[in-house]
């Protein structure tokens, strides 16, 4: 993996809020275009009940399709979100390469999302994560609503850090902080990530920001300065958690890649391919998407100083 990893979540977090169903063939085409563009990790679905989140009903089929030889390069990792043991079993059956699972630091969000308290969910997720690790799978654990909650407001940092410490004590060292409600600000991002690095300088950090209040890219910038290696984003800026108070789109992948390339980073990712995909998705969904660069076009990378 490169020094800065792009973890595309548009196929999961991006589509879960859409009212209309995206056909399986269209999803395959979009995933293939993300692979061609050079994205490192692609989250292609979540193992949730199809009645609650209809857009994810074909997740098992998508993983099985791309598990067939020759349908993706070995350098690209396909990830899936699991919330419970049943989801883990489904993932094992269809060839998931990387599991993403998490606990909300907000009691209200946790109950709405999983029907469990944060403490109950932490016990459950740790047991699931350890089982997946024992099976040789990559696992990323997260703290959701880490920077605030639409229902509860500010979340005490100690609540987030307590969950992180439990992850570390369980041997789980790939950890993401998710700004589910979009309340994060750069100072809070810097503070939380630096405290986690103090717990364990070797921890592999990831971040997942929503752009509810327009601070998504600013938070990504500070996260990178604070030791984060993996950035989660969605093409076109799609997305939003259906179990939060004010769902809002993710940081936009092509905007994020444009920002990185303007500073000489990740030139290997094909920005033109990402822009073409965002434009195709906007046509398919029959509306403008929240992203910026796909509408106005990119600037050239800055010349070396």
CATH code of residue 97: 3.20.20.70
Count of structural domains, the chain = 1
Residue span of the structural domain in which 101 resides: 5-296
**Span 24-47, mean pLDDT?**
98
**Lowest-confidence range among 1-10, 118-127, 233-242?**
233-242
Whether 209 has a pLDDT exceeding 70, the answer reads yes
Q: Considering the domain boundaries, does residue 303 fall inside one?
A: no
Whether 48 has a pLDDT exceeding 60, the answer reads yes
Give the pLDDT band of residue 20 (cuts 50, 70, 90): confident
Contacting residues for 165 by C-beta, under 8 A, at least 6 apart: 199
Give the pLDDT band of residue 300 (cuts 50, 70, 90): confident
What pLDDT does 248 receive? Answer: 60
What pLDDT does 304 receive? Answer: 52
What pLDDT does 302 receive? Answer: 57
What pLDDT does 265 receive? Answer: 96
Give the pLDDT band of residue 246 (cuts 50, 70, 90): very low
Whether 18 has a pLDDT exceeding 50, the answer reads yes
Q: Considering the domain boundaries, does residue 117 fall inside one?
A: yes
Q: Considering the domain boundaries, does residue 27 fall inside one?
A: yes
Q: pTM of the full predicted structure?
A: 0.94
Q: Considering the domain boundaries, does residue 244 fall inside one?
A: yes
Tens digit of each residue's pLDDT (9 = 90 or more) over 147-199: 999 888 899 999 999 999 999 999 999 999 999 889 999 999 999 999 999 99
Tens digit of each residue's pLDDT (9 = 90 or more) over 61-100: 999 999 999 999 999 999 999 999 999 999 999 999 999 9
Q: Considering the domain boundaries, does residue 149 fall inside one?
A: yes
Catalytic (active-site) positions: 241
Q: Considering the domain boundaries, does residue 304 fall inside one?
A: no
**Span 108-133, mean pLDDT?**
90
What pLDDT does 151 receive? Answer: 83
Q: What is the mean pLDDT of the chain?
A: 93
What pLDDT does 150 receive? Answer: 84
């Amino acid at each position: 993996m490169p020094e800065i990893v792009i973890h595309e979540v548009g196929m999961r977090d991006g589509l879960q809020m859409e009212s209309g169903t995206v056909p399986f063939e269209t999803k395959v085409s979009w995933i293939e275009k993300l692979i061609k563009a050079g994205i490192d990790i692609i989250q292609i679905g979540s193992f949730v009940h199809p009645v609650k989140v209809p857009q994810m009903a074909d997740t098992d089929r998508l993983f099985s399709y791309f598990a067939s030889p020759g349908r993706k390069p070995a350098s690209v990792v396909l990830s899936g979100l699991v919330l419970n043991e049943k989801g883990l079993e489904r993932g094992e059956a269809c060839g998931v390469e990387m599991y993403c699972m998490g606990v909300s630091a907000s009691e209200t969000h946790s109950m709405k999302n999983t029907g469990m308290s944060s403490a109950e969910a932490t016990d459950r997720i740790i047991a699931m994560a350890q089982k997946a690790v024992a099976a040789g799978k990559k696992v990323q654990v997260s703290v959701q609503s880490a920077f605030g909650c639409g229902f509860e407001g500010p979340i005490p940092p100690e609540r987030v850090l307590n969950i992180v410490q439990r992850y570390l004590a369980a041997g789980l060292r790939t950890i993401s902080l998710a700004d589910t409600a979009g309340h994060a600000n750069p100072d809070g991002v810097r503070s939380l990530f630096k405290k986690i690095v103090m717990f364990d300088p070797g921890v592999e950090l990831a971040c997942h920001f929503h752009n509810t209040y327009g601070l998504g890219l600013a938070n990504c910038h500070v996260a990178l300065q604070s030791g984060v290696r993996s950035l989660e984003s969605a093409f076109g800026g799609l997305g939003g958690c259906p179990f939060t108070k004010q769902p809002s789109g993710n940081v936009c992948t092509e905007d994020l890649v444009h920002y990185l390339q303007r500073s000489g980073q990740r030139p290997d990712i094909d920005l033109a391919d990402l822009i073409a995909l965002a434009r195709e998705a906007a046509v398919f969904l029959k509306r403008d998407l929240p992203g910026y660069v796909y509408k106005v076009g990119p600037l050239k990378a800055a010349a070396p100083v």
